[in-house]
Amino acid sequence: MEAIIPAKQYEMLELGFIGPEPAGSRVQVDLCGRFTRGERTWTVPGFYAGNGTYRLRFLPEEAGEYGLTVTGSILDAPQTAKVVSAAAAAGRHGPVRAEGTHLRHADGTWFHGFGTTVYAMAHQSRALMEETFQSLENGPFNKIRMCVFPKHYVYNTNNPEFYPFQVKEGREEKSFDAAGLPLFPIEQPERDSYWDVHMPSYDFWDAFEDKLRRMEKLNIQVDLILFHPYDRWGFANLTQEDNLVYLDYLLRRFSAFPHLWWSLANEYDLVAARSLADWHEIEEFVAAHDPYHHLLGNHQCFLIYDPSRKNITHMSWQTKQLFRVGEMQRKYGKPVLIDECRYEGNIPEFFGNLSGQDMTRSFWKVTTQGGYCTHGETYLPGTPEGDAATATGEQDVVWWARGGILHGQSPARIGFLRGIIESLPGPLEPLGAGMSGILGMTDEEIRRSAVDLPEYLAPMLRTICSMERAERDGFFAVEFEYNGHCGDDAFLRYLDDQCCALTRMNLPENHSYRVEVIDTWEMTRETVLENASGLTEVRLPGKPWMAVLAVRTD
């Protein structure tokens, strides 16, 4: 009689096995589950979890019955079972995947991403991590970027409680002191194989996994950063062979989590020990060993990692050039995530001293174009704002690196924006209005667009065409206006720094719209027109950071 194993759609199923400690590698263990349903098959390797236990994890994406055969040297014989997956529980939507330039859960629910960044979240004291979870629970974010490895960087030099691997046999334990080290070792140090990647430290992985489970409970997608250069322990300098062993273990353990995304790296191009060929190999390895095809991106400092690569599902872009979201959507046909665009804070470093107003502006700029923006908070330790970042009494706590208490002014506004976006009938697409439409156009496209203009304006477009391309792009970049739409159903104009007393929108003639004026900073919405259509004048208070939303009512 075959065992019947109950499961739930979009929730990880975990099966446990008892066996002997693996003799060699504790990563490359021989345990495999073969799940079948109709024509489809999922082959998922198990992993060793320490203490004589093996685990096999599976994420059922369909409700119904699956056949299962488990094989492996720890079993006397192959075992079979039937897995019966119940339909998804309320609020369970399945993994997020790319659909065109947007993000959508497996069940079809649009995912409107509003991210934050706590790189070394999982490597902090328990008290600090509790504080971080509390902040996330009360905050507006539904995505977090966090690293697997501990992080060594300014304001963030603490050793973690656990390391992911054991020290190689015969090697003496080092003490990793932050003092006197450069910001991070960009130069390529010797690869000395201090860590034994075949010997995972289960305390590390259990504790890390606990963080992932808690994020899942909070409905927060985790963009898991697999590598990064900010390192003094040697994790940025493993051999490539060791990298793949590390990934093998990670993918066996984590792939069945529904809410994980893979970020190959943070600032991959600053990891001096890795060549581009290494990154391609890493990318291929992750894609080949993840049976569920989670989102897969790679975040750069300077050199964009080619988003047109087959395995890359979206552009994970560090940039301050927020007007280029639409351009990149057109170029790659994939979702554009602005995964670093300066943070709210007051540190001396350029990347981390935006006002709450300016962090909020970034979200509106990106979101209006149908892109996805990522927040960070960086208040200087030792200032009143910096010291408000934790109640644990710990020093040097900066949200962007370590978590703690979110006390900036942008999160409330990001939540306000999220509410508006989630009320729309679908994701936004950029709408090239005014001069913004010209940005990124070829000469030929500009000439074609002249056809729609009053004849007396055509010479102006000819003049524009005669600008050098770089000058033209630079010109229109700083004239950019932020307009998005969901087909004819909704039009959103973000006026950014324009303190207009009046704006004019060209709404479709054949529909009626309710027009709201939105103060993105004061978080107010006021309906100012009903049944508007065609060319519509909207009075505004002459303040910065206003938006106008027109939603179809017929």
Contact call for residues 212 and 219 (beta carbons, < 8 A):
no
Q: Identify which of residues 260 and 547 has a Cβ nearer to its own copies in the complex.
A: 547
CA distance readout (Å), 263 to 39, 111, 187, 314: 31, 18, 23, 10
Min CB(266)–its own copies separation in Å: 15
Min CB(324)–its own copies separation in Å: 8
Q: Identify which of residues 172 and 187 has a Cβ nearer to its own copies in the complex.
A: 187
Cα torsion 88, 89, 93, 94: sign: negative
Q: Identify which of residues 202 and 475 has a Cβ nearer to its own copies in the complex.
A: 475
Min CB(223)–its own copies separation in Å: 22
Residue type, position 502, single letter = L
- Measured CA to CA, the distance from residue 182 to residue 154 in angstroms comes to 9
Residue type, position 426, single letter = G
Contact call for residues 125 and 162 (beta carbons, < 8 A):
no
Q: Identify which of residues 96 and 532 has a Cβ nearer to its own copies in the complex.
A: 532
Min CB(537)–its own copies separation in Å: 9
CA distance readout (Å), 455 to 248, 460, 506: 63, 10, 19
Q: Identify which of residues 333 and 542 has a Cβ nearer to its own copies in the complex.
A: 542
Min CB(448)–its own copies separation in Å: 19
Q: HSE, CB side, 13 Å, CA atoms: give it for residue 185.
A: 15
Q: Identify which of residues 18 and 478 has a Cβ nearer to its own copies in the complex.
A: 478
Min CB(351)–its own copies separation in Å: 9
Q: Which helix (H) or strand (E) segment is 369 a member of?
A: none
Q: Name the residue with tokens 């065609």.
A: 534
Among residues 386, 380, 375, 388, the alpha carbon closest in space to that of 118 is found at 375
Among residues 197, 222, 195, 225, the alpha carbon closest in space to that of 210 is found at 222
Min CB(353)–its own copies separation in Å: 4
CA distance readout (Å), 202 to 52, 96, 529: 12, 28, 61
Q: Quick count: other Cβ atoms within 10 Å of Cβ 322?
A: 24
Q: Identify which of residues 172 and 468 has a Cβ nearer to its own copies in the complex.
A: 468
Min CB(482)–its own copies separation in Å: 12
Min CB(382)–its own copies separation in Å: 8
Which phi and psi angles does 40 have, rounded to 5°?
Answer: -95, 145
Which phi and psi angles does 134 have, rounded to 5°?
Answer: -60, -45
Min CB(354)–its own copies separation in Å: 7
Min CB(191)–its own copies separation in Å: 16
Q: Identify which of residues 85 and 436 has a Cβ nearer to its own copies in the complex.
A: 436
Q: Identify which of residues 48 and 476 has a Cβ nearer to its own copies in the complex.
A: 476
Min CB(267)–its own copies separation in Å: 10
Min CB(98)–its own copies separation in Å: 23
Residues of this chain that bind its own copies (CB under 8 A): 182, 185-188, 269-270, 272, 301-304, 319-321, 324, 345-348, 350, 353-355, 358, 379-380, 383, 385-386, 434-435, 454-460, 463-464, 466-467, 470-475, 477-479, 481, 497-504, 542-544
- Measured CA to CA, the distance from residue 360 to residue 455 in angstroms comes to 40
Q: Identify which of residues 333 and 382 has a Cβ nearer to its own copies in the complex.
A: 382
**The tokens of 78 are what?**
């192959």
Q: Identify which of residues 188 and 308 has a Cβ nearer to its own copies in the complex.
A: 188
Contact call for residues 516 and 553 (beta carbons, < 8 A):
no
Q: Identify which of residues 147 and 273 has a Cβ nearer to its own copies in the complex.
A: 273
Give the list of residues 6+ apart from residue 526 with CB closer than 8 angstroms, or none: 516, 517, 518
Q: How many helices (H) and strands (E) does the chain have?
A: 12, 30
Q: Identify which of residues 134 and 409 has a Cβ nearer to its own copies in the complex.
A: 409
- Measured CA to CA, the distance from residue 113 to residue 338 in angstroms comes to 11
Q: If DSSP states are collapsed to H, E and C, what string results for 382-432?
A: CCHHHHCCCCCCCCCCCHHHHCCCCCCCHHHHHHHHHHHHHCCCCCCEECC
Q: Is 90 exposed, middle or buried (0-12, 13-18, 19+ CB in 10 A)?
A: exposed
- Measured CA to CA, the distance from residue 11 to residue 549 in angstroms comes to 37
